[in-house]
Amino acid sequence: MDTTTVAAKSVIAVDIGNTLTRSLLFDVVSGRYRFIAVGTAATTAGSPQFDVSAGIWQSLEELQYITGRTLLSEKDGVIIPSTQDNQGVDIMVATMSAGNPISVVTVGLLKNASLKHARHLAQTSYTKISAEISLNDNRTATERINMLTKIRPDLIIIAGGTNNGATQSLLSILESIGLSSFMMDESQRPSILFTGNEELQEEAKEGLEKITKLRIVPNLQPVLGQESIFPAQKEMNEIYQDIRKKQTGGLREVISWTDGNFTSTASALGRVIRFLSQKYEPEKGVMGVDIGSDATILAAAFHGKETLRVYPNLGVGSGAAGVLERTSLEDIKRWLPVKITDNVIRNYIYNKSIYPSSLPTEEDHLEIELALAKQALRLAVKDIIPSLEKQLDSSGTLLPPLEPIIGSGRVLTNAPKRYQSLSVLLDGLQPTGVTTLALDQNGLLPGLGAVAEDNPLLTVQVIESSTFLNLGTVIAPIGITRPGTTILRIRILREDGRTVTREVKYGSLSILPVEMGEKVSLHLRPLHRFDVGMGGPGKAGKVNAVGGALGIIIDARGRPLQFYQDEEKNRKRNEIWKKTYLKYS
Amino acid sequence: MAHKVKGYHALTSIKRERVLPVTGNVLVRRMQKVSPTDVIVVAPMAPEYLLLDIAQGLNVTPTRADELLQRAAGDSLVKGDIIAGPVGLFQRVIRAPENGSIKIAGEGKVLFEITSAAYELQAGMEGTVTNVIPERGAIIETRGALVQGVWGNGKITYGVIQPVSNDLLQELVPEQLNISFRGTIITAGFIRNPETLEVAGNIPVKGMILGSISSALIPAAKKADFPIMIVDGFGTAPMNRAAERILIANKDKNVALNAQPYDPFQGKFPEVIITQSTTKELQGPPETEALKTGKQVIILNGPLASRIGKIESILSQKKILPNGISALVAELSLSSEEIIEVPLTNLEIIKTTDS
């Protein structure tokens, strides 16, 4: 559809990150929506300003300077709607990830059933699970009450019991929650999200509604083993907004500019990935990855069914120390192609946590940040795989086929060489089969997600305008054999009719130098029952691919990637991989 | 773009909110002068509760148990006082298990709060109470020197500051620590030897202010019995000259050291406050300023971390750093008259004069 057929509206999408606030301008150019420019400023949610609007204002001033378009008025703030002389914009939307994670207590009956689902729900937003309550913990009612009054969480998520299932055990937990909430100062009482056995909704209402803010949504686990997260996830996002409004100076004013179109960055990312999953190859899923300063977000969707996970304190800025705390220094070092002492690595990571906006100025420091990003992504992806709609294997350790995978975050977009962005995604996620790795260079995804509901045409047209940089098509066969064994034969048919054949050995990483944008046809013939996503182990097939910034990458290093015990061997291997990339960068 | 101003000020007006997260009794009044150890608010910080199942204890129905209650919500009890009963052949009763009070009673149950020792929140600094926050705490104001840091181990103290050497550039090693530092808040360049923390704890010192610390020592620093505040960062960078000048100039003076953890979203910084008597009219420290030519700045990371320089110029175009990253940079002159280029993101402004 051409935009001239609908009422074209210019849009500013503001994203308030932990470190940076970005204002993106979208408008109609030659009858189609386009991304125009971005203005960036430091986020001012925390000290010393404590007012997010200051950072937004500065980012809009930069946007004004870049575009030459007047967007702000001293008297009225952001000029909405746009005027006839093209001042201001018609719509403003805002997304936010800044702030300390929300403290959550999850409640369920059994650890591996409802409690697990409650945990998944908490992970769809910027939360820190401060405690968990279930029948497995053997706490008495008194112990539960004391625990809750000490923690004073922002939110309690209550799951538990299938519909028509057990009620008594959950009622006893509800009583503890009600009593403990009652004992807290009114201003400090937690919000409660009840998503348990629907037969208990009335009791929950009766017991909790007069004490604190209660929201009731359909059961997260209506029948045993089935997770129905979407209605609760939507409510979770509303709660996030409510809590942030209370905590964040200037946010109410910003929300008034957006006419209420405000959501969490993660939720907006999830929305746009869901949207894309309905647009791209229906048999594969779509994944969006955001490696932020504090948090890593993964969103994957298959046929419009989304799995969203937010991992706060797992980033490459303020969350850098969190990566080190959740893993070991050795796990981070495994990704380094250069020798750096433990102290230098550790000190760099902790300094990055306290100065998250700072940039690495040394070559070694850049390598540490890339290694940190790979490890953050590795931890996140290992956690999300078992929850994805499609599973590749019963072990739940490998990513199912995805097309495309889109990465965002400053560590990827600021990386001086494209291979660095690609290697973070490739090593961190370890995709399987044939997939395209793309880069959201301008950080558009959350903004497009926030706009998608009101103006899906904008989202579609901006995505179609080659807004993402194709880093490369990746072919990653799955299987195990001795290193050096030929596992795949590839015949590449170029558009001009030339044909090249390659043999791929297990353990290798190689690049087919296909020009950016060049279309090729690949005939893949796996050997030794290796699987390249053509319908099963040993199955051959044809696939059309487009060259990316690094051409086509054949990653035959195995899945999951194995490491040596000897760290020097790992380093040397990383050095070889780096040289492979550099040859084509 | 507004840039953050580092919190190092030789003389400024300082205003701090000292509040509890729960309600309590405020013990100070407006315009009252307080010293760091004065208690400003008391509250049962983490009360312990007991949920007593009266019906089960008396072996009656919840409705009957409610009828047998002898006390109501709000009643204070001494250990052994009867809460409910007697009932039955053996005249069963439920007694208060500890000194405490009944918070909620009904449906056969009683929520009982055990009387706990009150938590006392101290002023933490010398100053004047300029505002009372009902049931929570107070706002205290003073004039003096302020040095804010980037990491603290969560402890707080008040005492005499004692630099270990004439400058704060060197590593603090165990051999430098002796009994003359007992009970003082010591300040030094950096530490990387775990033994230094151990020796300091044995003396014991009252607190420690360092330019930097090896991150390998974070777990030990968190466990230390005394407050530790890090001014510049992690590694072996010396104390920056601006903070060093303030700390050395205040040698032997009483300082309030609050090594609270750094939390920019809540505006919490570990800090040292040194109250000064002055009649000068002072404003609060500036918090942001535009980064421009002539400004004094501190380098936040990299090999020159904690060095201070003056901005000679800010390049209008992005520059490619040696590692390939493209960034807006400033040309800085260091005290050695050397000119270097540093990304703007890696700088914060320093105000060296009184604010």
* DSSP calls for A168-190: HHHHHHHHHHHHHHHHS-GGGPP
pLDDT in tens, B314-338: 999 999 999 999 999 999 999 777 8
Both B247 and B138 in one domain: the answer is yes
Tell me the backbone φ, ψ of residue A115, rounded to 5 degrees.
-65, -35
Rounded CA-CA distance A115/A134 in Å is 7
- Cβ neighbours of A583 (radius 10 Å): 11
Residues in chain B within 8 Å Cβ distance of A46: 264-267
Choose the mutation target among B1, B191, B307, B319 for the interface with A, i.e. most A CBs under 10 Å.
B1
- Cβ neighbours of A313 (radius 10 Å): 21
Which pLDDT belongs to residue A443? 94
Closest residue, chain B, to A18 (C-alpha): B265
Residues in chain A within 8 Å Cβ distance of B300: 351, 355, 358
Burial class (CB in 10 A: 0-12, 13-18, 19+), B61: exposed
In a domain, B354, yes or no: no
Res. A393: pLDDT tops 90? no
Residues in chain B within 8 Å Cβ distance of A417: 324
Mean per-residue pLDDT of chain A: 93
Rounded CA-CA distance A28/A9 in Å is 8
Choose the mutation target among A96, A358, A372 for the interface with B, i.e. most B CBs under 10 Å.
A358
Q: Of the residues B275, B307, B339, which one is the last residue of a structural domain?
A: B275
Both B103 and B197 in one domain: the answer is no
Both B6 and B73 in one domain: the answer is no
The answer to whether B110 and B102 are in contact (CB under 8 A) is yes
Q: What residues pair up with A488 in beta bridges, in sequence order?
A: A504, A526
Number of domains making up chain B: 3
The CATH number of whichever domain residue B65 belongs to comes to: 2.40.50
- The reply to whether residue A343 touches residue B216, judged by beta carbons under 8 angstroms, is yes
Share of chain A above pLDDT 90, in %: 82
In a domain, B208, yes or no: yes
Compute the nearest-CA separation of A443 from chain B (Å).
17
> In this predicted complex, what is the ipTM?
0.93
- The reply to whether residue B267 touches residue A352, judged by beta carbons under 8 angstroms, is no
Res. A85: pLDDT tops 60? yes
- B60: its two tokens: 């009656």
Domain hosting residue B302, numbered range: 291-349
Both B81 and B218 in one domain: the answer is no
H-only helix segments in chain B: 54-58, 62-68, 194-202, 218-223, 241-249
pLDDT in tens, A408-424: 999 999 999 999 999 99
Residue A50 in contact with partner chain B when CB distance is under 8 A: yes
In this complex, the residue of B1, B103, B303 whose CB is nearest that of residue A42 is B1
Both B263 and B172 in one domain: the answer is yes
The CATH number of whichever domain residue B229 belongs to comes to: 3.50.30.10
- A113: its two tokens: 């059933």
Closest residue, chain A, to B103 (C-alpha): A183
Residues in chain A within 8 Å Cβ distance of B23: 185
- Cβ neighbours of B89 (radius 10 Å): 5
- A59: its two tokens: 């980012």
Q: State the average pLDDT over residues A135-163.
A: 92
Which band of pLDDT confidence, cut at 50, 70 and 90, is reported for residue A5? Answer: very low
- A14: its two tokens: 């503001």
- Residues 143..162 of A with a Cβ closer than 8 Å to B: which? 145-146, 149-150, 152
pTM of the model: 0.94
Compute the nearest-CA separation of A215 from chain B (Å).
24
pLDDT in tens, B111-160: 999 988 888 999 999 999 999 999 999 999 999 999 999 999 999 999 99
Compute the nearest-CA separation of A32 from chain B (Å).
31
In this complex, the residue of B23, B214, B324 whose CB is nearest that of residue A347 is B214
- The reply to whether residue A50 touches residue B267, judged by beta carbons under 8 angstroms, is yes
- A44: its two tokens: 């001012």
Res. A119: pLDDT tops 50? yes
Q: Of the residues B57, B90, B114, which one is the last residue of a structural domain?
A: B114
Q: What residues pair up with B289 in beta bridges, in sequence order?
A: B3
In this complex, the residue of B3, B51, B325 whose CB is nearest that of residue A360 is B325
Q: Of the residues B275, B303, B338, which one is the last residue of a structural domain?
A: B275
Choose the mutation target among B136, B212, B268, B323 for the interface with A, i.e. most A CBs under 10 Å.
B323
Both B152 and B20 in one domain: the answer is yes
- B211: its two tokens: 């330019």
Which band of pLDDT confidence, cut at 50, 70 and 90, is reported for residue A479? Answer: very high
Burial class (CB in 10 A: 0-12, 13-18, 19+), B46: exposed
Residue A93 in contact with partner chain B when CB distance is under 8 A: no
- The reply to whether residue A179 touches residue B151, judged by beta carbons under 8 angstroms, is no
The CATH number of whichever domain residue B341 belongs to comes to: 2.30.30.30
Locate CATH 3.10.20.370 in chain A.
Answer: 3-96
Both B167 and B153 in one domain: the answer is yes
Both B186 and B233 in one domain: the answer is yes
Residue pairs spanning A and B at CB distance below 8 A: 149
Rounded CA-CA distance B326/B341 in Å is 12
In a domain, B280, yes or no: no
Choose the mutation target among B51, B148, B268 for the interface with A, i.e. most A CBs under 10 Å.
B51
In a domain, B37, yes or no: yes
In this complex, the residue of B50, B322, B327 whose CB is nearest that of residue A363 is B322
- The reply to whether residue A358 touches residue B300, judged by beta carbons under 8 angstroms, is yes
- Residues 394..433 of A with a Cβ closer than 8 Å to B: which? 414-417
- B163: its two tokens: 């630099």
- A330: its two tokens: 């050795």
Res. A2: pLDDT tops 60? no
The answer to whether A438 and A405 are in contact (CB under 8 A) is yes
Res. A9: pLDDT tops 70? yes
Compute the nearest-CA separation of B86 from chain A (Å).
24
- A403: its two tokens: 């097309």
3-state secondary structure A186-254: HHHCCEEEECCCHHHHHHHHHHHCCCCCEEECCCCCCCCCCCCCHHHHHHHHHHHHHHHHHHCCCHHHH
Both B157 and B244 in one domain: the answer is yes
The answer to whether A309 and A377 are in contact (CB under 8 A) is no
Residue A361 in contact with partner chain B when CB distance is under 8 A: yes
Compute the nearest-CA separation of B179 from chain A (Å).
31
From first to last of its 355 residues, what are the pLDDT tens digits of chain B? 677 788 899 999 999 999 998 889 999 999 999 999 999 999 986 789 999 999 999 999 999 999 999 999 999 999 999 999 899 888 999 999 999 999 999 999 999 999 888 889 999 999 999 999 999 999 999 999 999 999 999 999 999 999 999 889 999 999 999 999 999 999 999 999 999 999 999 999 999 999 999 999 999 999 999 999 999 999 999 999 999 999 999 999 999 999 999 998 988 999 999 998 877 777 777 778 888 999 999 999 988 999 999 999 999 999 999 999 999 999 999 977 789 999 999 999 998 654 4
Q: State the average pLDDT over residues A188-192.
A: 95
The answer to whether A461 and A430 are in contact (CB under 8 A) is no
Both B153 and B201 in one domain: the answer is yes
Class of domain A3-96: alpha beta
Res. A436: pLDDT tops 70? yes
- Residue type, position B69, single letter: L
Res. A1: pLDDT tops 80? no
Rounded CA-CA distance A35/A29 in Å is 9
* A201-208 helix and A168-183 helix, angle to the nearest 10 degrees: 20
Which band of pLDDT confidence, cut at 50, 70 and 90, is reported for residue A374? Answer: very high
Rounded CA-CA distance A490/A471 in Å is 20
Closest residue, chain A, to B24 (C-alpha): A185
> How far is CA A468 from each of CA A35, A120, B72, rounded to the nearest angstrom?
11, 29, 67
Q: In chain B, what is the straight-line distance between the N-terminal and C-terminal CA atoms, in Å?
A: 21
Which pLDDT belongs to residue B353? 55
Q: Which residues contact A38 (CB under 8 A, 6 or more apart)?
A: A22, A23, A24, A25, A63, A66, A442, A443
Q: State the average pLDDT over residues A76-80.
A: 87
Closest residue, chain A, to B341 (C-alpha): A361
In a domain, B238, yes or no: yes
Residues in chain B within 8 Å Cβ distance of A316: none
- The reply to whether residue B1 touches residue A360, judged by beta carbons under 8 angstroms, is no
Compute the nearest-CA separation of B352 from chain A (Å).
19
In a domain, B207, yes or no: yes
Closest residue, chain A, to B267 (C-alpha): A47
The answer to whether A79 and A72 are in contact (CB under 8 A) is yes
In a domain, B87, yes or no: yes
In this complex, the residue of B49, B215, B325 whose CB is nearest that of residue A183 is B49
3-state secondary structure A139-164: CCHHHHHHHHHHHCCCEEEECCCCCC
Class of domain A102-246: alpha beta
Which pLDDT belongs to residue B248? 96
Both B180 and B91 in one domain: the answer is no
In a domain, B330, yes or no: yes
Compute the nearest-CA separation of A495 from chain B (Å).
35
- The reply to whether residue A351 touches residue B49, judged by beta carbons under 8 angstroms, is no
Closest residue, chain A, to B302 (C-alpha): A361
Which band of pLDDT confidence, cut at 50, 70 and 90, is reported for residue A7? Answer: low
Both B161 and B257 in one domain: the answer is yes
